[in-house]
Amino acid sequence: MRVNVAGLVLENPTILASGIIGETGESLLSAFEAGAGAVVTKSIGLEARKGYSNPTLVELPFGYLNAMGLPNPGIESFGEEVLLAVRGGATVIGSVFASEAEIFAQLSSKMEAFGVSAVELNLSCPHASGYGMELGVDPGVVREIVLAVKKSVTVPVFVKLTPNTHRIIEVAQAVQAAGGDCIVAINTLRAMAISIEAGRPILSNIFGGLSGPAVKPIGVRCVYEMYDVVDIPIIGAGGIETWQDALEYIMAGAVAVQIGSGVGRRGLRIFKEVNSGLERYLKSRGIESLEDLVGTAHA
Ligand code: DHB
């Protein structure tokens, strides 16, 4: 079930999403060996960051609410982790976050030097001041960042977008106009939970990002809307736990899917399960290639 995502050829359409077990070379490799077609690193910044204090994660019946605070070791120390995964044979996509275009460009160029096959710009973390979605809701800012990164790397540039805006279409168009190679939709939704015993918000950061099955219809809607207006490939993400979920995203217009919370909720076997389900579906319908199903929900 080989798929071509902006020139990047993957053995299958399932990708480990950023933020779940993407902190070390070993864990990236374990997801790839479990059957992911590619793996995305935890978002990496210029300097080391400890992240927020606990609690950083709330498990809900329908997904996760998290606010880690972009913890990471800084780009210089992350090189060895990427190298380990790449040497082990994994196709690695390097996720980066920054507060301005030039730093995005610098981080992306380092990631390329470490050996990643693509970079993914985090323009969508829903709760870190000065980062992520604060930039990713503004088409002008998105354009400037993508332009700067495109000048600094030769690998494909993926841009992960936030659903926390009414301007997602304009943002997607800005990514394409600036030469971005692929859109990843969606990141988590800004959300919160309150402990009624303590009478206080549960997360130390108060606000976090909601992921998991609860957000799937929103992700599918975003992919469907964007597919009508952009020509670059879209990777679907948000609440995928079964091959049927993946197929829904593909029919909406996604060429591949990312799985994050699904790995936490179901384990690493999820990649093989989704892939074998999709293969069985193609076979039973006599469909040659998954690409024949991309966007077929559009009349
Ligand atoms: C974090 C970053 C994200 O981009 C996101 O969607 C959720 C959480 C974080 O590190 O806190």
Domain range enclosing 219:
3-51+71-190+211-298
- Does residue 57 lie in a domain region? no
The pLDDT tens digits for 69-81 are 999 999 999 999 9
Domain count, the chain: 1
Residue 96 backbone phi and psi in degrees, to 5: -130, 150
The CA distance from 85 to 281, in Å, is 31
Contact (CB, 8 A) for 47 and 28:
no
- Does residue 62 lie in a domain region? no
Nearest-CA neighbor of 216 among 46, 62, 21? 62
pLDDT computed for residue 269 by the predictor: 98
- Does residue 206 lie in a domain region? no
Mean pLDDT (the chain) is 97
The pLDDT tens digits for 229-277 are 999 999 999 999 999 999 999 999 999 999 999 999 999 999 999 999 9
> pLDDT tier at 102 (50, 70, 90 boundaries)?
very high
Question: In ligand 1, which atom is closest to the CA atom of 125?
Answer: 4
- Does residue 59 lie in a domain region? no
- Does residue 23 lie in a domain region? yes
The pLDDT tens digits for 27-42 are 999 999 999 999 999 9
Contact (CB, 8 A) for 122 and 160:
yes
Catalytic residue among 86, 116, 125, 223: 125
Longest CA–CA span in the chain (Å) reads: 56
Indicate if the pLDDT at residue 22 is higher than 90: no
> In CATH, what number is assigned to the domain containing residue 33?
3.20.20.70
- Does residue 200 lie in a domain region? no
- Does residue 63 lie in a domain region? no
The CA distance from 81 to 85, in Å, is 6
For residue 259, report the distance from its CA to the centre of ligand 1, in Å: 15
- Does residue 176 lie in a domain region? yes
Average pLDDT of the segment spanning 58-63: 96
Q: How far is CA 72 from the centre of its chain?
A: 17
The pLDDT tens digits for 144-178 are 999 999 999 999 999 999 999 999 999 999 999 99
What are the distances in angstroms from CA 146 to CA 56, 165, 176, 206, 243? 30, 19, 9, 30, 32
pLDDT computed for residue 86 by the predictor: 98
pLDDT computed for residue 121 by the predictor: 98
Cis link prior to 55 (omega < 30° from 0)? yes
Q: Say whether pTM exceeds 0.85.
A: yes
Ligand 1: which of 20, 53, 54, 70 to mutate, most ligand atoms within 8 Å of CB?
Answer: 70
For residue 17, report the distance from its CA to the centre of ligand 1, in Å: 11
pLDDT computed for residue 234 by the predictor: 98
